[in-house]
A and B are shown apart, each in its own frame.
Chain A
Amino acid sequence: MTQTPSTGPAGSPAGPVWVPSEAELGRRRIRKAQDRRRALVAAVSSFVVIGGLVLVVGTSQGWPVVQETFFNVQYGWEILPLLLEAFRLNLVLWVIAAVAIGVLSMLLALTRTSTSAALAPLRFLATVYVDVFRGTPLLLVIYLIGFGIPALQLTDRPIPVVVLGTTAVIITYAAYVAEVIRSGILSVHPSQRAAARSLGLSQVQTLRYVVLPQALRRVVPPLLNDLVALLKDVGLISVLGVVEVIRQAQILTSKSFNFTPYVVASILFLVVTIPLTRLTDRVLERTIARQNAQGSA
Chain B
Amino acid sequence: MTAGERAGATPVLELVDVRKCFGDDVVLQGVSLTVPEHSVTVLIGASGSGKSTLLRCINQLERVDDGLILFDGQDVCDPRADVDDIRQRIGIVFQSFNLFPHMRVIDNITLALRKVHGVGKDEAEARALELLGRFSLADKAQQYPDRLSGGQQQRVAIVRALAVQPRLMLFDEVTSALDPVLVNEVLSAVRELRSEGMTMVIATHEMGFATQVADEVCFLAGGVIHERGTPEQVIDDPQDPDTREFLRRVREAGRL
Chain A interface residues (CB < 8 Å from chain B): 1-5, 7-8, 10-14, 18, 20-21, 23-24, 27, 30-31, 34, 295-297
CA distance A230 to B46 in the complex (A): 53
Q: A34-B79, A297-B96 are in contact. Are A5 and B61 (CB under 8 A)?
A: no
Is B99 in the interface zone, CB < 8 Å from A? no
CA distance A2 to B5 in the complex (A): 11
Asked whether A10 lies within 8 Å of B30 as measured between CB atoms, the reply is yes
Place the interface of chain B in its size category: 20 to 34
Q: 21 interchain pairs (CB within 8 A)?
A: A1-B32, A2-B14, A2-B16, A3-B68, A5-B16, A5-B66, A7-B19, A10-B16, A10-B32, A11-B225, A13-B29, A14-B29, A18-B19, A18-B29, A21-B67, A23-B66, A23-B75, A31-B79, A34-B79, A297-B96, A297-B98
Q: Would you give the shortest CB distance from A297 to chain B, in whole angstroms?
A: 4
Which residue of the partner chain B has the closest CB to A19? Answer: B66
Asked whether B224 lies within 8 Å of A13 as measured between CB atoms, the reply is yes
Asked whether A296 lies within 8 Å of B70 as measured between CB atoms, the reply is no
Q: Which residues of A contact B225 (CB under 8 A)?
A: 11
Asked whether A10 lies within 8 Å of B78 as measured between CB atoms, the reply is no
CA distance A23 to B64 in the complex (A): 11
Q: A24-B66, A30-B80 are in contact. Are A4 and B16 (CB under 8 A)?
A: yes
Q: Which residues of A contact B17 (CB under 8 A)?
A: 4-5, 7-8, 10, 14, 21
Which residue of the partner chain A has the closest CB to B55? Answer: A297
CA distance A2 to B68 in the complex (A): 10
Q: Would you give the shortest CB distance from B60 to chain A, in whole angstroms?
A: 12
Asked whether A296 lies within 8 Å of B30 as measured between CB atoms, the reply is no
CA distance A63 to B76 in the complex (A): 55
Is B215 in the interface zone, CB < 8 Å from A? no
Q: A13-B222, A13-B223, A296-B94 are in contact. Are A8 and B66 (CB under 8 A)?
A: no
Q: Which residues of B contact A2 (CB under 8 A)?
A: 14, 16, 70
Q: Which residues of B contact A34 (CB under 8 A)?
A: 79-80
Asked whether B29 lies within 8 Å of A296 as measured between CB atoms, the reply is no
CA distance A5 to B66 in the complex (A): 9
Asked whether A11 lies within 8 Å of B224 as measured between CB atoms, the reply is yes
Q: Which residues of A contact B31 (CB under 8 A)?
A: 11
Q: Would you give the shortest CB distance from B144 to chain A, in whole angstroms?
A: 16
CA distance A63 to B166 in the complex (A): 62
Partner of B65, one of A3, A13, A24: A24
Is B213 in the interface zone, CB < 8 Å from A? no
Partner of B78, one of A3, A30, A295: A30
Q: A27-B77, A297-B172 are in contact. Are A11 and B32 (CB under 8 A)?
A: yes
Q: A13-B30, A24-B67, A27-B78 are in contact. Are A297 and B224 (CB under 8 A)?
A: no
Is B107 in the interface zone, CB < 8 Å from A? no
Q: Which residues of B contact A11 (CB under 8 A)?
A: 30-32, 224-225
Q: Which residues of A contact B61 (CB under 8 A)?
A: 296
Which residue of the partner chain B has the closest CB to A24? Answer: B66
